[in-house]
Structure formats: C-alpha cells, structure tokens
Chain A
C-alpha cells in the first residue's frame, strides 16, 4: 500500500530514524500508524453503535429515536432571537 507523505512528516520520520528510535522509515510509519489507530479506536465503537441503531430500527419497524414534541420546542427556541 504506497503512501504519499508531505515533506514535514517525512523529515520528522527521518529524524526518528536518525535518532535510532526506529531502524527504518517503514518501521517508524508502521508504529506511528498503529499509535494513531489506537488513539482513534473510539471511532470503531461509534461505527458499531450506528450499525446497532439500524438493527434496532429493523426490529422495531421504526427509528429507535423518537423526539416527541421536539419540533414545537425547536421552533419556539428559534423564535426567541
């Protein structure tokens, strides 16, 4: 999977390799991507929840989100300013 990196990121990676933190560019990129993915792991939970909401809709035969009386409130709030 070829990846194009900007100059600034590439210089940063080269610095890490030069400092001996990583033995090669590919090792550095692999590790940094892994760290980034770990940081954004919560996105997987949200994606799973979205799927679950669609399953709930299928089981219920209607959206699992009911906003009773919400339109009146929204329009009333908008009318205030």
Chain B
C-alpha cells in the first residue's frame, strides 16, 4: 500500500515535466494508493489557480467554477483509483501544548528528527497518523526530491520506504 504525494499526481498531468510519463505509469500500475486531505487541498490549490483551465472546463461542463473544481478533483481520484483516507481520531494532546490536530502534533514531534520543510513534514505526519490508525502503508511515492534528505529517518522512525519519481 502506498501513500501518493501530490507531486506525483501533478507531474502526471503536467506534460511539460520530464517526469510526467513515469508519474502516469506509476499511478496507473500501482495498487492500493492512499491519499490524505493534504493531497486534496494541494491539488485544489493548484487547479483553482489555473483560471483559464477552470473557466474552459466550467463552460464545457455547464457548471459553476466551484463545482467544476470538485468534479475535477473527483475525476482525478477516480481516474487514478486514489483512495482518500480521513484522520479518524483528529485530536492528539501534545504533552506540553494542548489538543491539536493529530497530524500537526505528530509533525511537531517529528520535525527535529526529519528536518523537512512544513508541507513535506506534514505529509510525513499524515503518513504516520494513517499508519497509526491501521493503514498498511509501506511506500511514499513522490516527485519531490526534498524527501530524500530524510530517507533514513523515514525508514527508521516512520517505517516507510521512499520511492522517488525521476
């Protein structure tokens, strides 16, 4: 079972990127692909800022842009058979701070060891949170080479292997 980072999905839909075909093949061939809400929001952000694309799709679909965005996200999920998993128990008390959203607490706890920037760190925190709730995630597939910097820690602490595209 694999956690799919947003970068792989975006790469597969970005014909200008040299990693596009490889990303597409991975998404088509990989079985049991999991995504988090962080992937959804990153995708929504990327697509919603493509004003021309959204307007064109909205005209063709005869739907307002807000609903077109939702339809586009659902199309991508269905096309690549991406399974969204929610964080079931959303709050986790940090020993020194207070109740926080679970992936944020985990991210804060992991930050020192993995040393990644915020969004990459959050993806790792989601992987850990999903694993903690029983998802059998073995691989993190990404086109973001920044994760490489933390590869050893990811195996050691989160028990997840890294598969980079490109």
Contacts and interface: CB of A to CB of B under 8 A. Distances in A.
Interface of A: 42, 45-46, 49-50, 52-54, 56-57, 63-75, 77-81
A67 B146 contact: no
Contacts of A56: 60
Contact of A49 (B50, B63, B120): B63
Interface stretch (B12-20, B87-95, B127-135, B151-159): B12-20
Contact of B75 (A45, A53, A67, A75): A53
B25 interface: no
B46 A74 contact: yes
Given A67-B50, A71-B17, A72-B17, A79 B117 contact: yes
Given A71-B17, A71-B19, A65 B144 contact: no
Contact of B144 (A42, A46, A78): A78
Contact of B13 (A70, A77, A80): A70
Contact of B16 (A45, A46, A69, A81): A69
A50 B47 contact: no
Given A45-B67, A52-B60, A75-B144, A68 B16 contact: yes
Category for how many chain B residues contact A: 35 or more
B165 to A, nearest CB: 10
A56 B47 CA distance: 18
A50 B75 contact: yes
A54 B60 CA distance: 13
Given A54-B75, A66-B53, 12 more contacts: A49-B63, A50-B78, A53-B57, A53-B71, A53-B75, A56-B60, A64-B57, A66-B13, A71-B11, A72-B17, A74-B42, A77-B119
Contacts of A66: 13-15, 53
Contacts of A65: 13, 47, 53, 57, 72, 75-76
A68 B17 CA distance: 8
A42 B67 contact: yes
B79 A46 contact: no
Given A49-B63, A52-B60, A75 B71 contact: no
Contact of A81 (B53, B68, B79, B118): B118
